[in-house]
A = this chain, B = another copy of it.
Amino acid sequence: MSKLFRSSVRENRKLTTDHYLITLRPLKKIRKPKPGQFFMLSVDSGLDPLLKRPFSLHRWLGGDFQLLYETVGKATNILKYKAPGNVLEMIGPLGNGFPAGPSKTGILLVAGGLGIAPVFALAESVSSRRPLLFLGAKSRKEVLCIEKLRSLGIRPTVTTDDGSLGKKGLITDILIDFLSRQSSTCLPVGKVVNRYRVYACGPKPMLREMSRITKKFRLKGYLALEENMACGVGACLSCVVNTTDGLKRVCKEGPVFPAEEIIW
């Protein structure tokens, strides 16, 4: 099954000023993507933008699938105008998804901003395991997917930088509070290790902090990284990150990496 395919746009819904949810229907059967995997997508057939852009699986609808995106630059500001009937060329699913982990461990999901795009996919796939979700954003209007999460039975703990929704502050601080309470009141630090697994996606500073947190609480954590990509398939070496095991490609060995492997 070649990973190069075209999809027709089914719907392209504006969620906030800068956020859109696009529903795509592959024009041929594709491999079922795993949460954490991504697609490289051409928003146009022209030469500008030139390269395909990476977008994470947001929701698999058993054939159709959804991407959640923010309009930040050239490609995304073209993508937002795509309408039903338009056809987009893409490659995927690419990379490795989030590893599920043993079924007894609790699942902590942490999403910063658009990090909710892939984290939601994971939340949906593990919703029966009652994951806890920590969701940080700049302000109220950047807090996405709350409704959809509720329908999965997940009520995220929310923080915003400006306090316009949830607690004011960083989501990682809330996570630290939570883990500290767990360690001090319920369990010895050592026990937290096996009790939870953490999965996170968000801006770099948040992920760096996540590495520190998982180390401190000796938790197994997985981080979905982003790096500028040209090929998406491991050929160009543009997306490398430094790990304890040498340079690794976000597109190929990632985008999900064990938190302890990343050298920040």
Contacts and interface: CB of A to CB of B under 8 A. Distances in A.
A47 to B, nearest CB: 4
A147 interface: no
Contacts of A46: 44, 46, 48, 74, 78
Interface in A70-108: 74, 78
A44 B81 CA distance: 12
Contacts of A47: 48
Interface in A28-78: 44, 46-48, 74, 78
A192 B176 CA distance: 97
* Closest 7 A/B residue pairs (Cβ): A48-B48, A47-B48, A46-B48, A46-B46, A46-B78, A44-B46, A46-B74
A52 to B, nearest CB: 16
Interface residues of A, number: 6
Interface in A166-221: none
Nearest to A74: B46
A46 B78 CA distance: 9
A47 B78 CA distance: 12
Name the residue among A44, A46, A74 with the largest chain B CB count within 10 angstroms: A46
A46 B46 CA distance: 9
Nearest to A50: B48
Contacts of A48: 46-48
A34 to B, nearest CB: 34
7 contacts: A44-B46, A46-B46, A46-B48, A46-B74, A46-B78, A47-B48, A48-B48
Contacts of A78: 46
Contacts of A44: 46
